[in-house]
Structure 1
Amino acid sequence: MSVPYDDQNVFAKILRGELPSQTVYEDDKTLAIMDIMPRGDGHVLVIPKAPSRNILDIAEDDLNAVMATVQRLARAVMKAFDADGTTIQQFSESAGGQVVFHTHVHVIPRFDGVKLRPHTGDMADGEVLAAHARKIRGVLGN
């Protein structure tokens, strides 16, 4: 059974400018923003501008654009935070762990011996997120 896309989700509202975000990168098909509940310093989200719930219904060209941006951001966060690696995550539907039903991919810089912070639902300090966004944009050159 296919569930329809809900255009009132938080990412749709961010894309329409109805909610604020810390933008890191944007092109004609994708937007990369800081995760407001980061599991690690430099945790960003890459979202398509076109509506889709998740990987199960996203158009192939939008998925390709998202993954190209994911790769760009993975390289940027590695450099910006002098990370040892990255974790890339995409959750589809509730059973898969998805909470916001607009396709999004998590890009998290990782460090040897450092575990991901738990997902508590607590929002990070806005100034810290802004500083992290500036650091990543500096590496991207925008």
Structure 2
Amino acid sequence: MHEQVTAPDDCVFCGIVAGTVPCAKVTEDETTFAFLDHDPGSDGHLLVVPKRHSADLFEISADDLTATTLAAQRIATAILPVLGAEGVNLFNCSGEAAWQTVFHFHLHVIPRYRDRGKDRLELLFEPGRSADDGAIARRAAVLAAALQPGDPLPAGVGRGT
């Protein structure tokens, strides 16, 4: 199910923040709201969302992105020892091709365990399968040329709504 949202009125996460959609709330602050995922990849898997609606990584304001990321870091630091987790994944999906299903920016904070009874996630790719060094160098050059230090964000990126 893909829930592409064009307006906050249609957004399930905006409803959670507003209190009109039920959730298992963990914490909130002035800018962010965190709740347990209803389809968790591991015990304690939660989502951190900015209270202000933005569809994805390309739309969120720099201030909301910073606040959401710092909240995710604070939450991960606090919950890992409480849950006995051995690690954490911080994960964002932006766009349908990247598995985004709710179009309100969010970060997954996923505690990780060696105990497979607590953790059903698998690696998304097989490590140790390097690409051709020449292809990697060519791709690095293309990306480096597009990402000069101090360049402003492209129009419409990170400006928020």
**Shorter-normalised TM-score: what interval?**
0.7 to 0.9
Q: Secondary structure at the match of 1:58?
A: coil
Contact 1:6 1:101 in 2 (8 A): no
Equivalent position of 2:136 in the other structure: none
CA separation in 2, counterparts of 1:22 and 1:93?
25
Equivalent position of 1:92 in the other structure: 94
Q: Structure 2 vs 1, CA of residues 5 and 109 (structure 1 numbering), >3 Å: closer, same or farther?
A: same
Q: Deviations over 1:11-45 (max 9, x none)?
A: 01111221111111100000010111111100110
Bigger Rg over Cα: 2
Equivalent position of 1:50 in the other structure: 52
Equivalent position of 2:61 in the other structure: 59
**Which consecutive segments of 4 or more residues in structure 1 shift more than 4 A?**
none
* 2:104 maps to 1:102: yes
Equivalent position of 1:82 in the other structure: 84
Equivalent position of 2:114 in the other structure: 112
Give 5+ residue unaligned stretches, structure 1: 119-142
Equivalent position of 1:69 in the other structure: 71
**Residue 97 of structure 1: how far off its partner (Å):** 0.8
**Residue 116 of structure 1: how far off its partner (Å):** 4.2
Give 5+ residue unaligned stretches, structure 2: 122-161
Question: Which amino acid is the alignment partner of residue 6 of structure 1?
Answer: A
Q: TM-score, normalised by structure 2?
A: 0.67
Contact 1:46 1:104 in 2 (8 A): yes
CA separation in 2, counterparts of 1:113 and 1:37?
18
**Residue 82 of structure 1: how far off its partner (Å):** 1.0
Q: Deviations over 1:55-87 (max 9, x none)?
A: 111000000000010101111221111111001
**Residue 6 of structure 1: how far off its partner (Å):** 2.7
Q: Number of aligned pairs?
A: 116
CA separation in 2, counterparts of 1:89 and 1:23?
19
CA separation in 1, counterparts of 2:104 and 2:52?
9
Equivalent position of 2:31 in the other structure: 29
CA separation in 2, counterparts of 1:15 and 1:81?
25
Q: TM-score, normalised by structure 1?
A: 0.76
Contact 2:72 2:109 in 1 (8 A): yes
- Which stretch shows the higher mean deviation, 85-94 or 108-117? 108-117
How many percent of aligned residue pairs carry the same amino acid?
39
